[in-house]
Structure 1
Amino acid sequence: MWTSIEDSLCELGESPFWHPEERALYWLDIPGRAALRTRGDIGSPEAKVERWALSTEPGCMAPARSGGLVIALRDGIYRARKWGGELVAMARVEHDVSTMRFNDGKCDALGRFWAGSINEAKDRANAALYCLDARSNTGISPTITQMANQATTANGLAFSPDARTLYWADTPAHVVRAWDWDAEGNSLSHARVFQQFDAKPEGWSPDSLLRYGGRPDGATVDAEGHYWVAMFEGAQLLRFSPSGQQVAAVPVPVQCPTMPCFGGDDLKTLFVTSGRKGRPAAEIEQRPASGTVISMRVETPGLPVNFFED
């Protein structure tokens, strides 16, 4: 049974994570240029949602071990020592900010922050995946490295529980790729297609008779190593085994789910952000939860969020 978090409405919600120390859900509104978080027990009378206005579009964020957040904005990756605090630039990449910005990302288990970019014009596959290593125990200054490329919209980033596989999606191409990943050395090899989805049929609309399962947006991995991906415009989440077998299709009450994450004290609450920006009025009327954060209980727990180390 899906429920919506009260006052969670966004134009395009993204990058949710559960903060175990604060017992709070964090997420972003990309076009709304805001970070959001819950305060108090979700669903209780005293619960509320706090919003932090940002200077430009945030693509992704992660909690930091020493406090605060790391946030990828349009033009670079920034560090905030506290909620609402000063944003200090940590790294920038050479992309044209008039058409390119950061999008989906998260931290790996070793505390490095990964963020992919998006070509908003969608005229060529020049988006890339970057990794920022700012760990103080490395003895070197923060470094940002391009790890993968040839995408149009970076999405679906996730890491297997054993830190041997990295997943990364290109939304317009309807593809999720996988790599063998040496986490300690941080190298990728054996690139392959993990899932290739059917393209959107010409003339498709949510109320047409044409079938369309959506395209891969944000993703997460559960404790069993299964890959959960939000299918934008498909009104569903799909769950795949590590071998690539689809084991579940979970309908959602929004046409455009954007990213799942696991939370709650037992990590058995599945939270999903969603979008409503640019959607037809009839769709919003039929699916009023569009743009909110929805949640439901699941049997298999997720993995705890990875913290940024600096």
Structure 2
Amino acid sequence: MNPPALSTPHWTALTKEPDGLGESPFWHPQERRLYWVDIPGRRIARVAVDGLQAQGPVEYWPLTQEPGCIAPVQGDEQGGGLVMALRDGIYLAREWGGPLQLLAAAPYDTAKQRFNDGKCDAQGRFWAGSLCEPKDHALGALYMLDGQGLHAMVGGTKDGAHDGVVTANGLAWSPDGRTAYWADTAAHQVRAFDFDAASGQLTHARVFYQANPKPAGWAWGSAAPYGGRPDGAAVDAEGCYWSAQYEGGRLLRISPKGQVLAEVPTPALCPTMPCFGGADLKTLFITTARHGRSEQELAQYPGSGGVWAMRVEVAGVGVNAYRG
């Protein structure tokens, strides 16, 4: 039986200028701003939001490299700022548009790999996965940055490339912090792990959700059905995992037991990542992609590359800040 769908979700556009590939959105509760990145556009964006409406223009911070993911920094005597995973390393910026301090160099060949999806855990450690740009080997790994440096937690030098992924995505934690989720977009798979909060160790890997493979020769508009593949994700207060289905035009709400409870149609065929925000964490934001999409698809989905918002019934889990 198919999961229930919200046939007419009320999405509101927050942006007018589209991104090539929007990713890594997070709601900053103190600033009441939504932050995100445009990977091929090599920029970070932010905008103040009240309800479902942007307040003023979107601010852009141009970079010299592709940003894979970002997270807020916990404020101290030096202020807050952002931590960001760029192609060649993880950097700290104490202020918007300010100088970048290298925290850790990328532990891979930057000609073939780059950082992708990531975020902070509840302990304030920054996690970022990598992807293999040729997309022909599972060389992507999941790294964790703490006060002692950068550590390969899955794949990389820790467990070997056979435990890695082609495209790291969908990182999230359950509300109780005992389960971590991590997706390999190319494999159409989300994995779950037992998570030890004190050490950050991930154990007991298992398949949490497996999407159907992409039909051979599939392209948008073809007759072959295709529901998309797991991209970025967020978790709500009931422990459900919201997964953006790239090329599927939908979000899936998946129970902690791996059951698809609902699907939410999106205003772009390629949603990339959801997050929760607003004062009550009941505003759902999504980033989307238009880079490399066909003219026919963009004509059908003119909102591709935009950032969108809608209200939901169950509150989400808020963003965690980097504490070093």
TM-score between both structures, scaled by the size of structure 1: 0.95
Counterpart CA distance in 2 for 1:302 and 1:205 is 33
Q: Residue 188 of structure 1: CA displacement?
A: 1.3
Q: Residue 46 of structure 1: CA displacement?
A: 4.8
Q: Residue 143 of structure 1: CA displacement?
A: 1.2
Q: What amino acid sits opposite 2:267 in the alignment?
A: P
Which has the larger displacement, 37-46 or 253-262? 37-46
Quote the residue 1:76 is aligned against.
89
Counterpart CA distance in 1 for 2:127 and 2:56 is 31
> Which of 57, 73, 76 in structure 1 is aligned with 2:66?
57
Counterpart CA distance in 1 for 2:301 and 2:49 is 27
RMSD over equivalenced CA pairs, Å: 1.2
**1:7 matches 2:16:** yes
Question: Where do 1:232-247 residues align within 5 Å?
Answer: 232-247=246-261
Determine if contact 2:248/2:269 at 8 Å carries over to the other structure: yes
Q: 1:170 to 1:45 in 2, by over 3 A?
A: closer
**1:286 matches 2:292:** no
Once superposed, which parts of structure 1, at least 4 consecutive aligned residues long, lie more than 6 Å away?
none
SS in 2 for 1:151: coil
Q: What amino acid sits opposite 2:189 in the alignment?
A: V
Question: Where do 1:225-304 residues align within 5 Å?
Answer: 225-304=239-318
> 1:181-204 CA deviation, whole Å, 9 max, x = no partner?
111121111110111111100122
Counterpart CA distance in 1 for 2:108 and 2:293 is 29
Determine if contact 2:52/2:310 at 8 Å carries over to the other structure: no
Counterpart CA distance in 2 for 1:50 and 1:262 is 20
% identical equivalent positions:
58
Counterpart CA distance in 2 for 1:45 and 1:113 is 28
Determine if contact 1:7/1:48 at 8 Å carries over to the other structure: no
Determine if contact 2:274/2:287 at 8 Å carries over to the other structure: yes
Q: Residue 8 of structure 1: CA displacement?
A: 4.8
Counterpart CA distance in 1 for 2:47 and 2:201 is 36
> 1:80-135 CA deviation, whole Å, 9 max, x = no partner?
0000000110012321111100000000001000000010101100110000013x
**1:151 matches 2:165:** yes
Counterpart CA distance in 1 for 2:274 and 2:219 is 24
Counterpart CA distance in 2 for 1:103 and 1:303 is 21
Unaligned runs of 5+ residues in structure 1 are 135-141
Question: Where do 1:181-220 residues align within 5 Å?
Answer: 181-220=195-234
Determine if contact 2:47/2:55 at 8 Å carries over to the other structure: no
Task: State how many pairs are aligned.
Answer: 303
Quote the residue 1:89 is aligned against.
102
> 1:221-245 CA deviation, whole Å, 9 max, x = no partner?
0011100000000000001110111
Unaligned runs of 5+ residues in structure 2 are 1-9, 156-163
Counterpart CA distance in 1 for 2:87 and 2:129 is 11
SS in 2 for 1:47: strand
Counterpart CA distance in 2 for 1:57 and 1:44 is 28
Q: Residue 206 of structure 1: CA displacement?
A: 2.0
Q: 1:97 to 1:221 in 2, by over 3 A?
A: same
Counterpart CA distance in 1 for 2:49 and 2:151 is 38
Counterpart CA distance in 2 for 1:70 and 1:186 is 19
SS in 2 for 1:155: strand
TM-score between both structures, scaled by the size of structure 2: 0.91
Q: Residue 45 of structure 1: CA displacement?
A: 7.8
Q: What amino acid sits opposite 1:62 in the alignment?
A: A
Q: Residue 303 of structure 1: CA displacement?
A: 1.0
Quote the residue 1:26 is aligned against.
35
Counterpart CA distance in 2 for 1:46 and 1:192 is 43
